[in-house]
Structure formats: structure tokens, C-alpha cells
Homo-oligomer: A and B are copies of this chain.
């Protein structure tokens, strides 16, 4: 079936399904009913049935969903059935946290290089990856493909470095800098704005107290 028919709303929910299905696999669960999954995920069973019907109704009445099949199918739709080479720009705490997160590698996101502007960090190891100086970025990109660049650098540098990466053919940016990148339309930009996340907490706390 074509993935094109799946609405963006469903796509947005897929990573969460994927996470729960992964946990079920770890627990050795092979089949699950929409009711059981509903209880775990705190989503209505009808919502689950509706969402998962998008993949061709492989839930069977009284039999449930095949967990592994569903997991693999969602992986395929999300593009997780291939590996992605990820380069991290910025070897600070956030860059280190990302480099050290084993779950990413498990899902095929391989940290292939880490760059930093600080010469003192050049040559040091983060996990199994050596930190290179940012000036070596162009040379590296000439010999290695980069699928995704994670930018864990201050906003003053992020826009410029993203431009450099774009010129080197990078089309996907995982942006942690407190700014919007200025890259062309043919790029994927996923921003994690931690400040905005904190502001949502503060707004929701305020709303809760006012109720």
C-alpha cells in the first residue's frame, strides 16, 4: 500500500506507537488487542483501531495485532529500515548527551563524526567517536556522506554552520540552537527548542493554578 494516504496526524502519533510496540517486544509480547494497547497508551481503543487500520487492517477480531509485524511496518513508514549517518556539531554537554544515547544507534542513527570549534577538544573521545576541529568539516564531507547534522551549538554560530553544511549537501538538520535556521526549502529542519518547552510548562502551570 502507499504511505501517502496516511494523514499527518497519524504520522505524528506513529513514534509513540513505535515506542510502545518496542517495549512490548522487549517484554516478549507477540500479540496485543486494541483494548490492551488502549489501556497502556491511554488512548481510546477506537482511536488505535482507526490509526492502525491505515496499514491495512492486520488487527483481527479476537486475535489482536501482531506486535512485531506492526513494529516493522511502522519502522518502514518512518524510514527506520535504513541507517542514517549523523554528524554532531558541538561537543558540549548536549552534544555529548546525544552522542552517548545508545538508543539512537539501535534505531539506525549512527554518530559518524563530532566537530567542535574548541581546539582543546580536538582529538578527545566521546564514546567511540573522536572530536574533530570544525575547520575539518569540508574535508570530512568530501569523503563521507552526512544524512543528518545535529547542531548543539549557540545560536550565533548555528545559522552559519547550517549554511556551510547545506553547501556540503546536508539536507537534514536537528537544531538545538535557540534560533530558526535559514536553510532553503529543500531541507528537513527539526528544532528542539528547550526554552519553548519550559515556557509551555510555565503556561500550563499558570493555567492549572487559575482553574
| A interface residues, Cβ below 8 angstroms from B | 11-12, 14-16, 18-19, 41-42, 77-80, 84, 92-94, 96-98, 100-101, 103-104, 107, 109, 147-148, 171-172, 174, 178-180, 186, 188, 190, 192-206, 208
Contact = CB atoms under 8 A, between A and B. Distances in A.
B203 A11 contact: yes
8 contacts: A19-B178, A19-B179, A19-B195, A19-B196, A80-B199, A84-B201, A84-B202, A103-B178
A104 B208 contact: no
Given A19-B196, A208-B171, A202 B80 contact: yes
B178 A201 contact: no
| Max chain B Cβ within 10 angstroms of own Cβ: one of A14, A19, A202, A205 | A202
A188 B174 contact: no
A192 B147 CA distance: 22
A187 to B, nearest CB: 8
Contacts of A197: 174, 190, 192
Contact of A147 (B100, B179, B205): B205
A204 B172 CA distance: 9
B192 A192 contact: yes
A90 B211 CA distance: 32
A18 to B, nearest CB: 7
Contacts of A78: 199, 202-203, 206
B198 A104 contact: yes
